[in-house]
Structure 1
Amino acid sequence: MILAGVFLCFLELTGAQEVDKNQTTLVTPEYILPCYKSDPEINKCLRNTFNHLRPYLKTGISDIEVPSIDPLKINTLIMENGRGPLRVKASFYNITTTGASNYSIGQIKTDLDKYIIELGVVLPRIEIRGKYDVNGNVLLFPVRSKGDFWAIFLDVDGAAKIHGKEYKNEEGVRFMRIDKLFIDFKLKRSRFRIRDVINHGNLLGEAMNQFLNNNSEEIIREMKPAATASIARHFKGFLNAAFVKLPLQLWLPDA
């Protein structure tokens, strides 16, 4: 979710240029380092742009309605895993994530003729808090749990791949719309804690905390397909809502 949020902010910022009615005058704000499709070092340029954005993304930019990514707030994410020993539907809401502004950009690869953008992001530490509601089965045992959750992820390696398509509005202005968004991640360490309001204060509630931490790698592996799909669905809609404000000329001037 952090990776997609960072990418959204980048796209909004690279499009934040003022254009007169004839679209002949461009004014570039201080937080933008423009990149050009014809640049043979376009991937290096985009990487520099991401790094330049870091302090602005941390505080947010009110004039273009880009909120702070630290903390990053998400209303709802729903994940459903129907295969394997962990078959659950998990709803997470009122989510607050901290640590995203400490990102560093890894490799960037683009094919801008096809509107394909791939990028990697490294995050040293991500802390997530919120509320959850889980129904399902762990192994052969039914599970019903609801309450507050807290999680820490260390040394997160994230990746995103965007497949875009060009379209024109009624005025003939060209835009890019996201057709497909793929997200992946891996991490070295994690720690979980829940406060189960259904089972809180009894042996089952504490046993669930122990199970989460003793089996965190297996749980993440089982839930990863559902998690990445849910995050991608959420941010695909979010990104496309932003793209309607971003003519190609603004964030890719020579496209």
Structure 2
Amino acid sequence: MKFLVLLCLISIVEVKELPSGFEKCHQSDPKINSCLNIAIQNSLKILKLGIPSFNIPPIEPLKFDYIADDSSPSSTMSLNSVFKNAELQGLADSKIHKTTTRFKNKFGLKSESFTKKLDFVGQYSMTGQILILPIRGEGFMNISLNELTTKHELTGDFYKGSDGQSYINITNYRVKLLPKLVIFRFDNLFNGDKTLGTTMNNLLNDNWEIVFESLIPGYEKNFGDKFKEIANRLFSQVPFELIFPK
């Protein structure tokens, strides 16, 4: 008898609920998009500190151990960059709006966020050219994205888990970064030459739109990959209908 009870206990697959504080939005709710705006906004307060039981790290700051990023080559720019021990600061202060979703055949969600100031800080090493001038350096960097609108687009598939329930797997998380102003600060350029370093930082900031346009594809990909990883840590553990009840 004890063996049968043990066997039954082993066969039970634990189904997780949404973390405490997360709001559910019903598929049949005609105002589901408004519900999602509020739900995602409120979830940022929880994600700010992370959710250890779901292996979700804090998003304030959101850490990146290592990023290798080459700029999109152009006639004026060519950069090879590596960022270590980097982090995004200010993500949890974002305001969410314009959320839409779909569930037919595939999962899809679009949303926009506004962040007053998002700082990307860490250690960098860089070589290349900017506006036909050579640049090289390694040290501390801070890239401030001001008055930032971020467009998020998630797509994913539904699949059956071992418990027979339907889950979501995010296969693509696209990010579009649209700042009103970007301020660059790269310390220790040209082996610490302060005159050359100040001149180059001023050049970067005077031409921030051209510089950022070349750098942005790499940033968007790396940020999108990190956001996808976090989303899947939630979606892989909570069944679809416990997140979006009918």
TM-score, normalised to structure 2's length?
0.82
SS in 2 for 1:223: helix
Distance (whole Å) between structure 2 residues aligned to residue 179 and residue 53 of structure 1: 21
Q: CA deviation at 1:186?
A: 0.8
Q: CA deviation at 1:142?
A: 4.0
State whether structure 2 residue 85 is matched by structure 1 residue 94.
yes
Contact 2:16/2:237 (<8 A) preserved: no
Distance (whole Å) between structure 2 residues aligned to residue 28 and residue 162 of structure 1: 19
Unaligned 5+ residue runs, structure 1?
1-20
Q: CA deviation at 1:120?
A: 0.3
Contact 2:136/2:189 (<8 A) preserved: no
Instruction: Give % identity.
Output: 24
Q: Alpha carbons of 1:244 and 1:60: their partners in 2 closer, same or farther (altered >3 Å)?
A: closer
**What residue in structure 1 maps to residue 113 of structure 2?**
121
Contact 1:77/1:234 (<8 A) preserved: no
**What residue in structure 2 maps to residue 156 of structure 1?**
148
**What residue in structure 2 maps to residue 245 of structure 1?**
237
State whether structure 2 residue 201 is matched by structure 1 residue 209.
yes
SS in 2 for 1:101: helix
Aligned amino acid, residue 92 of structure 2: S
Contact 1:71/1:98 (<8 A) preserved: yes
1:108 aligns with one of 95, 99, 102: 99
Equivalent residues, number? 234
**What residue in structure 1 maps to residue 7 of structure 2?**
none
Contact 2:135/2:189 (<8 A) preserved: no
**What residue in structure 2 maps to residue 31 of structure 1?**
21
Q: Alpha carbons of 1:244 and 1:50: their partners in 2 closer, same or farther (altered >3 Å)?
A: closer
Q: Alpha carbons of 1:140 and 1:213: their partners in 2 closer, same or farther (altered >3 Å)?
A: closer
Distance (whole Å) between structure 2 residues aligned to residue 121 and residue 253 of structure 1: 25
Aligned amino acid, residue 83 of structure 2: F
Contact 1:77/1:231 (<8 A) preserved: no
Contact 1:183/1:232 (<8 A) preserved: yes
1:68 aligns with one of 58, 62, 68: 58
